[in-house]
């Protein structure tokens, strides 16, 4: 097997993980601002911390290659999260 696809996968996964980790860090350190943003988008503020924990668990599942089904579910969860976030921003009229 060629090493090039594996290298690209690790680079993409690293960049994606950094993006998600920056968001999770913001969820924990800037809770009030994130909670106001969630309410502006129509979501309850009580979703902030559980969503941050779910994202951390999802990243853990992506980096641990032991269970393929859990890794697949983590990818599905991130796709649903990103599509829902895009739809919420578009519905709220954000640029």
Tens-digit pLDDT profile for the chain (95 aa)? Answer: 578 888 999 999 999 999 999 999 999 999 999 999 999 999 999 999 999 999 999 999 999 988 999 999 999 999 999 999 999 999 998 87
**pLDDT, position 1:** 59
Terminal C-alpha separation, the chain = 43
φ, ψ for residue 60, nearest 5 deg: -60, -45
- How far apart are the C-alpha atoms of 76 and 74, rounded to whole Å? 5
- How far apart are the C-alpha atoms of 15 and 24, rounded to whole Å? 14
Rg of the chain over CA atoms, in angstroms?
15
- Residue that is written with structure tokens 């860090």 in the block: 25
**pLDDT, position 89:** 92
**pLDDT, position 71:** 93
**pLDDT, position 5:** 86
**pLDDT, position 94:** 82
Task: Answer for the pair 64, 74: CB distance below 8 angstroms, yes or no.
Answer: no
């Amino acid at each position: 097997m060629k090493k090039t696809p594996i290298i690209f996968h690790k680079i993409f996964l690293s960049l994606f993980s950094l993006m998600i980790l920056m968001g999770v860090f913001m969820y924990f350190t800037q809770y009030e601002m994130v909670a106001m943003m969630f309410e502006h988008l129509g979501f309850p503020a009580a979703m902030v911390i559980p969503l941050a924990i779910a994202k951390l668990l999802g990243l853990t599942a992506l980096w641990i290659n032991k269970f393929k089904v859990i890794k697949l579910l983590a990818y599905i969860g991130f796709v649903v999260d990103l599509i829902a976030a895009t739809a919420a921003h578009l519905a709220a009229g954000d640029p």
